[in-house]
Structure 1
Amino acid sequence: MLRAKSSKALLVSDAVYLSGMPPGEYETHIGGNVVLTPEGRLHLARKPELLAGSAMMLADAVWRLAQSGQCAFPEAWDMASIRPAEAMGQAEPYGLKRGAQADFVLLEKRKGCLRIVETVKGGRSVYQGDC
């Protein structure tokens, strides 16, 4: 897929509210009883062959894609940030301008995954992760 789509490939997530929860059985307001496996697979409790949504956070998907060797981390990050914004007409043109307010995401590699420490938009902190 990456070879076919090239610079038009996007990385998105439809992660449900169980993302980041420990493995186990949960009751949801939509699907009833579901099971979140230690591998991160979310399926219906009575029909394990049927998925019940995604439990992978987008930062984890970026990390996994980069670790797979199919692309470098900067390209995986762009697939999950700049490219979807461009596809929705929300991305401002690239380019550094002296005096411009910063937009960035501070990441930390921890236990084989990425953790979002802080997100800054227009020079203002809009998200800070819990430690």
Structure 2
Amino acid sequence: MNSIIYRQCPVCHNAISESMEWVEDVEGVKRIYCKRCDTIYFDHKPPRQPVYDINYNKHFFRPGDIRKAGIMAAKLAELCQKKWKRPNILEAGAGNGLTVMLLRAMGLNAFGIDLDEKLSV
């Protein structure tokens, strides 16, 4: 666990380390929770990625893709429902919208945005 957080919250611009909490590290990227505005964010911008537009995402309905999205949606639902009664969940980079659809099927208020506007749900 990292007790010092250097990057300010991208939502409320909070830069006070004591009001931030480390969540986890995933492949060198820290996920930070801002206690001031209830946002979880990355400690730095991820490396530049290829473009995942609608042409890329329309092919991801294979059984393995659906299974992975289901696992992710279930874990996200579990974490959010521990803290909030009716959480609003925004998936940034929603791709084909599968995770958002599964979260909605679980009764959660979920939305998705993507750089390709056709993929926003």
**TM-score in terms of structure 1 length:** 0.23
Structure showing greater radius of gyration is: 1
Bigger proportion of residues as helix: 2
**TM-score in terms of structure 2 length:** 0.24
